[in-house]
Structure 1
Amino acid sequence: MLKKSVLIPAALLYTFALATLSLVNLNNITEGSPKNSDKAFHFLAYCLLALVWYIVFKYGYKWSQIKALCSAGLFSISFGVLIEYLQGNFTETRQFDVLDIAANSAGVIIMLLILAIKKKTEHK
């Protein structure tokens, strides 16, 4: 059984790690990478963010499927927009990028669709 006392700290830890990686200077790590190659990372990172928070809401708080999906989606997309705002306004080495928001949001939406479809096929 998944316990709220484990799920919430795990979700907060992942969220904090993602925020940290999004706000620190990674120029020396990403040097020589193809242009826009970071979009795959954004997509996958936000797929996982949506999944982690969906699990917290669905199994930790025992919310309904639709409430857990909507809450995880709203939280994850809002978090992505907030991080981009912070990059554009409070860091010197990162910048606001609408394409990052698009990649983040696409990752969230795809994960939520997978979860919704998976749940529907389990009931057949």
Structure 2
Amino acid sequence: MVSLVRLKDIPSFGFSFDDKIYHAIAYFVFALLVFNYCYSKNYKRGLLISAVIPIGYGIIVEVLQFTMTTHRTFDVYDAIANSLGAILAVLVLRYLMKTKVKMN
């Protein structure tokens, strides 16, 4: 679980909020993967599940960082970045579904 280990030498975008960009990208991809699974299983609420699981997981990981590590801390802005990444993925997927883009 990358969220609980010490990370070094991560490339910088040059912003003070680089880590938030990484969080959003990671959870965007996470939501896409959850949706892909849901889509392959023909779940009716795949979009909802694709948002709820990554957001819930992101919150749980932030709490675990606070309680189980000495080198990571709880950061509400990380949780927000995680959530925004997942929500953005769901919005993109919803748009693609409405425009009838083939998902296979």
State the TM bucket, normalised to the shorter chain.
0.7 to 0.9
User: Per-residue displacement from partner, 1:14-58 (whole Å, max 9, x unpaired)?
Assistant: xxxxxx2110112x435x875331011000000000000001011
**Stretches of structure 2 lacking an aligned partner (at least 5 in a row):** none
Count residues in correspondence. 100
Higher helix share: 1
**Stretches of structure 1 lacking an aligned partner (at least 5 in a row):** 1-19
How does the TM-score come out when normalised to structure 1? 0.74
User: 2:15 & 2:72 partners in 1: Cα distance?
Assistant: 17
**What pairs with 1:1-124 in structure 2 (closer than 5 Å)?**
20-26=1-7, 28-30=8-10, 35-59=16-40, 61-64=41-44, 67-122=45-100
Percent identity between the two aligned chains = 32
User: Per-residue displacement from partner, 1:74-110 (whole Å, max 9, x unpaired)?
Assistant: 1110000000000011100000000000100000000
SS in 1 for 2:74: coil
Which 4+ runs in 1 deviate beyond 4 A? Answer: none
